[in-house]
Each structure stands twice: as C-alpha cells, then as structure tokens.
Structure 1
Amino acid sequence: MVHQTMSRSTPRASRASSRISNMTTRLPRRSVDRAILGILATATALLLAACAVPTLPPDASAPAAVPGVGEPAIGRPGAFAPVPAAPVAGRGRWVPADWSELPGFADDDLFEAWNAWTKSCEKPGPAYAALCGDVRRLSIGTPEEQRAWMMAKLQPYRVESAEGNPEGLLTAYYEPVVPASRLQAPGFNVPLYAPPAGLGQRKPWYTRQQIDTLPEARAALQGRALAWLADPVEAMVLHIQGSGRLRISEPDGSVRLVRLAYAGTNDQPYRSIGSWLLQNGQVRDATWPGIRAWLAQNPQRTNELMWTNPRYVFFREEPLDALDASFGPRGAQGVALTPGRSIAVDRTSIPYGTPVWLASPGPTAALQRLVMAQDTGSAIVGAVRADYFVGWGADAGEAAGRLKQSLRLWALWPRGLSGGPSP
C-alpha cells in the first residue's frame, strides 16, 4: 500500500518542485528551506491519513452475551469456542458438543433438577465443588437464569461407547413399599438381614442358596434379621432395587414406616430370575406380574427360581421422617435421590455428581431433561447406560417395570478444568 501511494504522488511532487524553484528567486535560502520542510510535512500527513483504517461503530445486531462470560446466548449453533477432544472415559469416550445438540434443552423446567443438584452439593465431587455456591444461589432463580449460568460454566460432552456409538439403554428403578413384621410370625417367614460380622473379610460370601441352607451361613446371620416379609418375590424386588420402605408391624401392635437402605452384598454375581424363566421356556412375560403368575402355578419351585440369582443384598434401617419421605434413598454418591431427576450410571464412565442431559424418545416415556448421576448398580454397565429413579410405591413400580428404551447422554463438565473429564 505504501509503495502504491508513493508512485501515484510522483507527478505531484515534480510540480511542487518546479514551483519551489521559482520561489528561490524571491526568498532567501533559509526561508526556502523552511518552505520545503513545511510542504513535506503536509504531504506526509496526507499520506498517513489515506492509509489509516477507520474505526467502525459496534454492530448493534450482534447477539447478546451471557453476563460476565462474553459468549452468545442459547440457541446459536457453534457459538462456543472450540474445545479440545476429551480423553476416553472408562468404557466409552466424551466428545465435545454444542448446546444446540441437546434435545429440548430450552424447554426443560429446571426446578426439580436444581433440587437434585443441591442434594449433590452435600457431597460434591472435586470437579463441581467450586460451583456449589452458585448452584445454591440459583435455586431461587428462573429457568432462563439457570440455563444461562449452565451455558457459561459448563461444556457439554456427548457420551459414546468406545467404538463411537452414541445410542445406549435406559431402564428404571424405584423404592418398593412393602408390609412387614418386626418378628417372624405366621405368614411372615422371609427375612431381610443386616450385614453379618466380618462380611468384607470373606469375599465372596455365601451364595443365596447357601445362605438359605448351610448351617454355618445361617449361624453367621443369627439375630441379624431386621424384618420379615410374607412374599419371597417382594424380598427379591428389594434385593434388586437395593432399598425399600417397610410398613412394619412392631411387637407392641404399632405400625411404623421405615426405610431399609443398601448396606452391602455377598459379592456374588447378579443373575436375572426373569431371564432364567425366559431362557428355560417357562414364561413369555418376564415382568414381575408374569413372575408372580408363574410362582402361583409352581409354588414348589420358588426356591429353585430364587437360587438362580446368587447375589444377596444386606440392609440397614433408617428412620423416615417427613423430609426424608419426600426424597428417595441415598444413592452411591451418598445423597438422597430425587424422583425423575436422579440416575444410576456406570461410575467408570460418568463420575458421581455429574449433571447429565438425558434424551430418550420412548416408546414408554419420552424424556428430555437434566438429571444428576447419583447412583450405580451391578447391572448398570457401559458408557451410554442409565437407570432412571422414578420414585416409590406401586405406581412407580409399574412405571419402572415398563421402562426399557433407547438412550443418549451428554455429560456437562466444568469449563476450564485442566486435564479434561476423568471419572
């Protein structure tokens, strides 16, 4: 640019020189020098002005930014700066994604999810502890404020299998409510046990069949029964769900509502009794109603069926006041579960306390919502795998029994953490 400007100025410089030559006949030499210097200064100023780049006013049509972040608001694909690829996480991998990729993100009513998030902040993981002050303050915020804050502080990562498949499986679980007796009594002969002394010293412990039949196993559990149930299927449901509420009849005739929470297992593998029935051609319907119908027709085979699952769960009793009753049991993270907003995950793929965007199209229930990874389970294996906590009681049990459908997950990881996500 400079060279082009100077080449265009050459003829004008020649004309100026001729006029200067005429002036020398009327002015002293010193005056001529001052005149030349003034002309050169004026020409230089004009050249600089021609090369200057004008300052444009701000673009009034530019998108508004999230306060304090300088990033465009929701709904603009590709709005955020590129994020380096995340490392493989456990049995899968996390792939950076844009917020526009999350189905229904602009429509979720975040109030219930925020309750679950504040619960997670009772025992936050190291990645999220610094955010908990904001989470608590935003518990009275609007959904729009909560969404804007999430976009400012978190980066979505699409969760995929190690092979790159983003599709997985969603199931559901619940907290049964079961009648029980504090003491063994006619009609109440199925025990629920607290952990035996020294459970962790012998791994694995006795199988379900051995617990029911071996004298040494029964001796180790002597006096450890917390309650007695009438129905072996209800006991199996409690073992599979990992916790439950008991309407328990006490020796003084009173009835109390208590919670039995997960306290450990015998470290034996889990086997599905429904799958055993299907594989052996015993039923076509392996739901709990189908299993009950089969047992009603084959009561002599009850132990045979139950013993196909060697996994045995032990419990601890917890009081259940009005506040506790409005939440579920404590999950593996150590915080109470929130119906519809807590999930169990494979902890090697998603750390406890991670906010997760869940999308599942149905057919049983179409779900697009923010949930919290607060629990795990022996059957919850794989990166794109979740068990959805639906609540407690018979209706929740029916819903949980029907829910088995496709799933996609996005983990929401704090921005700016060094090292990326590392469950």
Structure 2
Amino acid sequence: MPGWTNDDQASAWPAFLASCKAIGRQRQWADVCAAASLLGARPSTPQVRSFFEQHLVPWQSFGPGRTATGLVTGYYEPLIKGSRTRSAQHPWPVHAPPEDMLTIDLSSVYPDFKNLRLRGRLEGNRVVPYWSRAELAQRQDKLPLPVLFWASDPIDLFFLQVQGSGRIELPDGSQARIGYADQNGHPYQSIGRWLISQGQLSADKASMEGIKQWARDNPSRLAEMLNSNPSYVFFRELPASNSGPIGALGVPVSEGRSIAIDPAHVPLGAPVFLATSWPLSERPLNRLVMAQDTGGAIKGPVRVDFFWGFGAKAGAEAGRMRQQGQVWVLLPRGSTPSEMLKKP
C-alpha cells in the first residue's frame, strides 16, 4: 500500500474507536475492537501501525475488469442561513420525512435488495414510487410533509442535501445541526453532468462553485436544473455537538479520516487505506480512513467520497476534489470480504 509507512495512523485512531462502537458487537470485529480498547485513547503512531498490521489484512478493491483505480470525490458539512419560521428572506423548506412515504424492505426474501433504497406511496391498492423532486415541489403544500426549517437560498439547500448533513445559522446567530433522515427513493443524478450535457458548462467548470455561479447567472432556469436530479433528501434535527455529523454507521464522521463508500462492496465501519491525490494536483494523499458513511452517488467497489470537515475551507477542497484513487479494505485476520459483507 503506497505511503502506508508515511501516514500518521494515530490521527485515525479516534475514528477507528468510533467505528468500534458500532461494529464491535459483530462477531468478526469483536476481538479486534476489544484489543483496540486495551491500547487506550491516545496510542503512538508506531503502536497504531503495529496494531493494524497484527490484527488486520488488507484486501484491494477492484472494479469491473479488475480495474484498480476509481473516482474519489469529496464532501463536507456546510453552513447555510435559515430560520425556524417562513419569511420573505427564508422561503425554501427544509423537510423532514413525509408521513405518507413507505419504506419497502424485501431483503428477507430477496437478499440482493438489502442495499437498495426502496421508497413508495399508496395509490389505491398499489405501491408506486414516491414523488420525485419536481413532483414534490409541485405538491408540497398538499402533502403531509413536515418542515424543520426555512432556508434563504435554494442552491445552498440543494448542496446541503447532496452532502447529507449540515448546520443552519439562525437569525439570532445561533446554529442548529441537521442530519440525513431519509430519501425519496429516486436515483441521484448529477446536476453538473446535466449542465455539461446542456452545453451550459464545460467539464472543468462543473464544480460546486461553478454550478453556484451558473445558478446566480441563470435564475430563470434554476428549477429546471435542480429538478434534473429527481432524488430528494429529508432531514432530522440533531443535538448540538462539536463532533462531526452523524454518518450512515451511526457515529460522528471525522475530518480527513472518514469516507463514504458503497456498502454493497465495502463493509460499513471497516478501516480503509486510500491512495489518491490532493484536489487539482498530483501530490499524494495516502492515508488510513474509516468507512463510516454512504451516499446516493457512491456506487461501486472503487468509489469513495472523502470527508473534508466543516465550513467554507472544507467546502472548497471538497468542491475541487475529483481524483483517481485505489482502495484497500482492512479486515480481521481469518475473514474474507464476502463473509464481511453478509449480515452479522
């Protein structure tokens, strides 16, 4: 694994202990996490490196045709402006999950469906797909669709949905934290790709900042652009905390040491060694990270979303990151990837 001996693995130790809070109850991880607890909260880098080398084995992930490299993007925890009450300055709703949306779980009968987000609604005696983003915009006042907050900017709200969690700065200067609660079941479609296909942006300009600038320059086409992505994320309010946002594993993600992965290919909670490069450069970014989150656009065995942290600086790095990378999943000795991907 390139750069393994140069990484400061001790910086990843708190994230690994957080993972153990979730996966330590699984049979395959119980002994490893018990041994980790004996090292304490602040072991040295040589101790951490030795621990992983002693207890875990790296398995490299490959894509179709044994492709070793895949796409590495970035995400972050944004801060947007909003209010708990609707006003002319805050007209855009931040929704909690709708009361009429059904969650369809067929995994006990069809195991291949366990990682699919199946959401629907009743239409007579039939279950049909839940409303798309465009349909929600048209019908939201007629649906049992709770509102948590009201945002001041629709494009900031859209990117908060893409990130899956964030903070809202209220008019009095205080902040509220929200996290992913559910999704409408429609597949994520990139608005950047839509803009490229429409001839509105070149590929090198289709970054988060480039998309925001296009939205400011083309307000009459804002709804058309947003609705090109039928996926819609619903939120829940979280307690105030200085830790990172809660990922799909159920633990806070860590700046620079957590990633989102496809749980169909990488066990959620597992340590991962990522070999990639810094945004817009060839400078190596090789480090131990934890698979603690998922995302609608993160599909495949060599597809990673790197968590940069909170705020504008993190957002700038995340928005620029579109690198190639390789992935090694670190699993307990004696286990195999296929075994670890089964339900414990």
TM-score range for the pair, normalised by the shorter chain length: 0.7 to 0.9
Match of 1:205 among 126, 130, 135: 130
> Match of 1:360, as an amino acid?
T
**RMSD (Å), alpha carbons:** 1.8
AA at the equivalent of 1:396: A
2:165: which partner in 1?
Answer: 243
- Structure with greater proportional strand content: 2
Which structure has the greater CA radius of gyration? 1
Partner of 1:167: 69
- What is the rounded CA distance, in whole Å, between the counterparts of 1:188 and 1:179 in structure 2? 8
Distance 1:269 1:115, change over 3 A: same
Change (3 A) 1:293 1:140: closer
Q: Tell me, in whole angstroms, the C-alpha distance in 1 between the residues paired with 2:336 and 2:91.
A: 56
Q: Partner amino acid for 2:18? A: K
Structure 1 pair 136/422, CA: closer, same or farther in 2 (3 Å)? Answer: closer
Percent sequence identity is 39
Corresponding residue for 2:15?
Answer: 116
Q: Which of 176, 190, 193 is matched with 2:78 structurally? A: 176
Q: Which string of whole-angstrom CA distances, capped at 9 and with x for unpartnered residues, describes residues 240-284 of structure 1?
A: 1111111123xxxx4421111000011112111111111111122
> Per-residue deviation at 1:391?
0.4
Change over 3 Å in CA distance of 1:190–1:420 after alignment to 2: closer
State the TM-score, normalized to the length of structure 2. 0.86
Summarize the alignment of residues 385-404 of structure 1 with structure 2, pairs less than 5 Å apart. 385-404=303-322
Does the Cα contact within 8 Å between 2:273 and 2:288 map onto a contact in 1? yes
> Per-residue CA shift, 1:267-305, capped at 9, x if unaligned?
112111111111111122222222222222221111111
User: Structure 1 residue 418: deviation in Å?
Assistant: 7.4
Relative distance call for 1:418 and 1:404 in structure 2 (3 A) is: closer
Task: Choose between structure 1 and 2 for higher RCO, CA contacts under 8 A separated by at least 6 residues.
Answer: 2
Give 1:419 deviation, angstroms: 8.6
Aligned residue for 1:130?
Answer: 31
Q: Is 2:48 the partner of 1:146?
A: yes
* Contact in 1 for aligned 2:209/2:319 (Cα 8 Å): no
8 Å CA contact 1:413–1:421 kept in 2: the answer is no
1:48-73 per-residue CA deviation (whole Å, 9 max, x = no partner) reads xxxxxxxxxxxxxxxxxxxxxxxxxx
How far apart are 1:147 and its partner, in Å? 1.5
Change (3 A) 1:230 1:116: same
Offset of 1:146 from its aligned partner? 1.7
Check conservation: 1:266, 1:311, Cα contact below 8 A: yes
Q: List runs of 5+ in structure 1 lacking aligned partners.
A: 1-101
Q: 1: CA distance between counterparts of 2:194 and 2:134? A: 16
Question: Secondary structure of the residue that 2:235 maps to in structure 1?
Answer: strand
Retained in 1: the 8 A contact 2:100–2:144? no
2:324 alignment counterpart: 406
Q: In the alignment, which of 224, 248, 264 is matched to residue 348 of structure 1?
A: 264
2:251: which partner in 1?
335
2:197 to 276, 279, 289: 279
- In 2, the alpha carbon distance for the partners of 1:137 and 1:246 equals 39
The whole-number CA distance in structure 1 between the counterparts of 2:322 and 2:149 is 32
TM-score normalised by the chain length of structure 1: 0.70
CA displacement at 1:392 relative to structure 2: 1.1
Within-5 A mapping of 1:46-195 = 102-124=1-23, 125-138=26-39, 139-195=41-97
Number of aligned residue pairs: give it.
Answer: 311
SS at match of 1:339: coil
What is the alpha-carbon distance in structure 1 between the residues aligned to residue 222 and residue 276 of structure 2?
A: 36
Moved over 3 A (4+): 361-365, 417-422
Deviations 1:38-97 (A, max 9, x none): xxxxxxxxxxxxxxxxxxxxxxxxxxxxxxxxxxxxxxxxxxxxxxxxxxxxxxxxxxxx
Distance in 1, matches of 2:219 and 2:277, equals 39
Q: 1 CA distance for matches of 2:259 and 2:303?
A: 10
- Contact 1:193–1:221 (CA under 8 A) maintained in structure 2: no
Contact 2:262 2:300 in 1 (8 A): yes
User: Is contact 1:260–1:316 with CA below 8 Å preserved after alignment?
Assistant: yes
Residues 162-187 of structure 1 deviation map (CA, whole Å, 9 limit, x = unaligned): 42221111111011011111111122
Q: 1:262 to 1:350 in 2, by over 3 A?
A: same
Secondary structure in 1 aligned to 2:325?
strand
Post-superposition CA distance 1:327-376 (Å, at most 9, x none) = 32111111110010101111111101111111113443521111111111
Partner of 2:232: 312
